[in-house]
Amino acid sequence: MKLLDFLTESRSKILGVNQRNQSILRKFNPPKLRKRVDDKLCTKKFLLKEFIRTPETYAVIKNENDLKKLNWDALPKSFVVKPNRGTHGNGILVFYGKNKRKNAWIRTTLELMSSEDISQHIRDILSGRFSMGNGKDVAIIEERIINHKILKPYSYRGIPDIRVIVYKGFPLMAMLRLPTKKSGGTANLHAGGICVGIDIASGITTTAIHMKGFDLIGDRYDLLEETIDEPKLQLRGIRIPYWKNVLELAIKSQMASKLGYVGVDIVIDRDKGPMILELNARPGLGIQMANQEGLLERYNLVKGKRFVSVERAIKLAKTLFGGEIEEEVETITGKEIIGLVETVIISPSEEVIDRLKAQHREKNADKPKKLRKKIKLPESQKIKAKIDTGAFRSSIDYRLAIELGYTELKQVREVFDMKFQTREEGLAKLKEYQQKLPNFEDIKDFMVARSGNGITLRPVIKAEIQIGDVKKLITFTVSDRSELNYSAIIGKMNLKEFLIDPSRTFTA
Amino acid sequence: MFFKEISPLLLNIPIVVSIIAFTRYIIGFKTWRNYPTVALALAFYIVAKLNHNFIQSFFIWLILFVFIIGSASTFKYLIRKLKINYYARSAIVYLGGTIGAILSIYIVNLLFQFAYTDEFRVFSVALILSTIDEFGAVQLIKGNIEALRRTLTSFILGLLSGILLSSAWWNNVIYKNQWILLLVLCLDFVVAFWSSLRLTELSRFSAIINRSKAD
């Protein structure tokens, strides 16, 4: 049974190859559309139609004749040669400079290649050596991406790319792939590259992995804290440049491809910003290890949700899948991160409950047991409250407080209509009401407050509040908030356990 | 018995392919594609059929396998920096594999007095030779580690399937109980619709499973 539970639990979170192929790829990625993205030239074409930027194409060589006609002198110093239908980065040559004396181009490995050497490589591409299905292929000569200054120190002689998995307009998961010395400049995990998970909400890297040595059972990974090559750099906490643009590009590319589930590979050029490198119709599952999260769980969360706009899809993804960085901050600081508007649960204090119970008992003391009515205690209220660091105290609407069982407030109903011209005037009234305090149990005090409504007199009560995982008894001033957007505000006096992130809108 | 006077070898072929499918989709072992794995199994079958000694057959098959694949890989490595056409490169690699095959035939003859005189015997060598392309393709597309892993799993599966093909007891069972093929068909359907995690994936994703448990 334990094994069965284990399998069921794992099944609900992790996307395996079988389920990816059967439930997702077969359903949302028909072979005809898959062929379109396997063909890099075709991908460039349909992306261009949607004004989505890809590296510029210098030449397309379809046969020996095209190769003969190629004007080598017209090529820039740096360029990339790649097969049109290549996989796993095979057959890609990157040149970053030209040795004019030897009339040869310099590879990232510092090897020199003459036009004849490159022609031979192109012939291999044309014969299908590096391509899916081993059929004949086409060679593409295109622009070389120049590393962005933020990502450059982390990659060894190659261009890092960002893989975003997009399902029907919703970005599910992302990772940064870094080339290493071992991977020979490619960012492929199987070739020895490093994969670093990215927090969807913030675009900041989280956990990193690379492949363990040989294991007969299958792929195994080691968690990494630093880059493998010198200089050793911390992999956690890299802020991906243009993060919002990266997510937008990923979504737009998926939509343009018409496939339902796509791995979008994005590179960030130093001068031109993010652009699409390629689309993958069968994205690998190692991204789950890089993020230490299951893809299936995320897929299930957005399955059935209707795509409205790119902005809303990003917002939803950030809300649903973000928070890994927050968890870390919370662990380090011991404080919970909340937004400017939070869902909170407000409950009456135990004192109020006890008073209501006592009143009920008193009322029913004379009645025979059968005629006694069951007590109806006030229920906790789940509301959206404004987190207001500009206010010192928390405040609650009069009607909400009544619903919570603070019925004594009805006896001082008139204070909510009082407005004072000066603070002194208010203080005079305050003295009068403070004298009445011995008559109340729930009203703990009165105070004069200055707010947007002017100078008012407010009763003070104590109620229990739950924000996120934090539950505590706090003091509220009671006022008439019927014309305001939120029936409660939480002031800074009660926010010591929290860090405020203005980009968050609510805690689910 | 549905078919009379039919070789059990034919009845066994779909069973071998079902085993390959089962190990791939339910256990998660990735092998070469069906044909090269079946070819390895058939090569073992021929060696065992002619030799009658299981241990000796295993060693002969092992020597052939290691020498042919090893020699082809060595040739591939040696010519890796030559800038030559792809099919010509393939032809050179095949030549390397053939040299390995000739060497292995001499060694087998020397060790076990098992001479490759008739064409039927040589056919087992040719079957192993025909797997060279697959090894090279996996190496190119998936990298050295994955190629080594798939070669090892194909070797194990080829051996197990070869043992099954050459087992007199099993051949008798399958010949007399041909309905077993219907069971195999059912198994094929189970495997075809299996969408759960593969057993090896439980190990691959163990860190996520453990982490979510801890949460």
Residue A127, chain B, CB below 8 Å: the answer is yes
Summarised one tens digit per residue, pLDDT across range A145-169 is 888 989 988 888 788 999 999 999 9
Q: How far is C-alpha A416 from the geometric centre of its chain's CA atoms?
A: 44
What pLDDT sits at residue A52? 92
This model of the complex carries an ipTM of: 0.78
A283 CA: distance to closest CA in chain B (Å):
15
Cβ–Cβ under 8 Å, residues A291 and A236? no
Nearest chain B Cα to A120, which residue?
B83
Buried b vs exposed e over A73-96: b needs ≥16 C-beta within 10 Å? eebeebbbbbbbbbbbbbbbbbbb
- Alpha-carbon gap, residue A252 to A54, rounded angstroms: 13
User: How far lies A229's CA from each of A98, A154, A182, A235, A285, in Å?
Assistant: 26, 9, 9, 12, 25
- Alpha-carbon gap, residue B202 to A8, rounded angstroms: 12
Touching B: A residues 6-65, CB under 8 Å: 6-7, 9-11, 13-14, 16-19, 22-23
Q: Which residues of A touch B143 (CB under 8 A)?
A: 88, 190-191
Average pLDDT, 10 consecutive residues per value, chain A (508 residues): 57 85 91 90 92 92 89 87 83 85 82 87 85 78 90 86 94 93 77 89 90 73 85 88 93 94 94 92 91 90 87 88 67 74 90 87 79 82 89 91 91 88 88 89 90 86 88 91 88 86 59
For chain A, helix (H) and strand (E) counts, in that order, are 15, 22
A10 CA: distance to closest CA in chain B (Å):
6
Residue A380, chain B, CB below 8 Å: the answer is no
Residue B203, chain A, CB below 8 Å: the answer is yes
Per-residue pLDDT band for B124 (boundaries 50, 70, 90) equals: confident
- Alpha-carbon gap, residue B17 to B172, rounded angstroms: 19
Residue B198, chain A, CB below 8 Å: the answer is yes
Residue B33, chain A, CB below 8 Å: the answer is no
Q: Which residues of A touch B83 (CB under 8 A)?
A: 116-117, 120-121
Nearest chain A Cα to B213, which residue?
A9
Query: Any residues with CB less than 8 A from the CB of A91 and at least 6 apart, and which?
Result: A82, A83, A121, A124, A125, A129, A130, A131
**Over chain B, what is the mean pLDDT?**
85
Both tokens of B113, joined, read: 């007095």
Q: Is the model's pLDDT at B148 over the cut of 90?
A: no
